[in-house]
Structure 1
Amino acid sequence: MTDLERFKNILNEHREELEKEYSISNMGLFGSYVRDDQEKGSDLDILVEFSQPISLLRFVSLKRRLSQLLDVEVDLVMKKALKPRVGERILAEVVYI
């Protein structure tokens, strides 16, 4: 099983509780793990959308929770915060959970 498959499985196992606790409407993976060019120490890039506004404290709490669940450093990015040029690249490779 690849790291990407393992991450997807873990996120799917916890999807319902994460959606409920953090008002997540959509979540996907992108970056080096999706491209399969990660290196030792690479973080996991996660794109997230929320069904309602979330405070900075809750956002940081979600980031920590995901890092603990997945046992890897997580870079959490809100879809609505994407810059147009970078956002196009991210959206082209994102693998939704």
Structure 2
Amino acid sequence: EREKVIQLLKVRKRRLKKFGVRSISIFGSVARNKVGRQSDVDLLVEFEKPVGLFEFARLQMYLEEVLGRKVDLVTPEALRKELRETILREAIHAV
């Protein structure tokens, strides 16, 4: 599942750039290849410049459509302090 998600993101790199995406990394159960039927896809996204809530939500909906799963989209700045180090350590760069 991890490689499938990475590939789906890579082939849409140009479209993601139109959303202002600088990079996307996967973390959580997909990064660890421990995906269940109900698992969402945890994605860490960095933008070229700050985006508004509307653009953020549009990107999230687009990614859910592409990946066929619920997406939990988060920016590095929004990571909870107690989870930040673990997430950054396990994150796998996709785009």
What TM-score, normalized by structure 2, do the two folds share? 0.93
1:95 to 84, 92, 95: 92
> 1:94 and 1:9 mapped to 2: Cα distance?
16
Q: Considering only aligned residues, what root-mean-square deviation do their CA atoms show, in Å?
A: 0.9
2:78 to 57, 78, 81: 81
Determine the structure 1 residue equivalent to 2:52: 55
1:45 equivalent to 2:42? Answer yes
2:27 to 16, 25, 30: 30
Where do 5+ consecutive residues of structure 1 fail to align? none
Where do 5+ consecutive residues of structure 2 fail to align? none
Deviation at 1:37, TM superposition (A): 1.8
Q: Which range is displaced more, 80-89 or 24-33?
A: 80-89
> 2:20 and 2:71 mapped to 1: Cα distance?
18
| Percent of residue pairs identical | 32
Deviation at 1:17, TM superposition (A): 1.6
- Name which structure has the greater RCO, CA cutoff 8 Å, separation 6+: 2
Deviation at 1:73, TM superposition (A): 0.8
> 1:35 and 1:75 mapped to 2: Cα distance?
16
What TM-score, normalized by structure 1, do the two folds share? 0.92
Counting matched residue pairs gives 94
Determine the structure 1 residue equivalent to 2:9: 11
Q: Which range is displaced more, 3-12 or 33-42?
A: 33-42
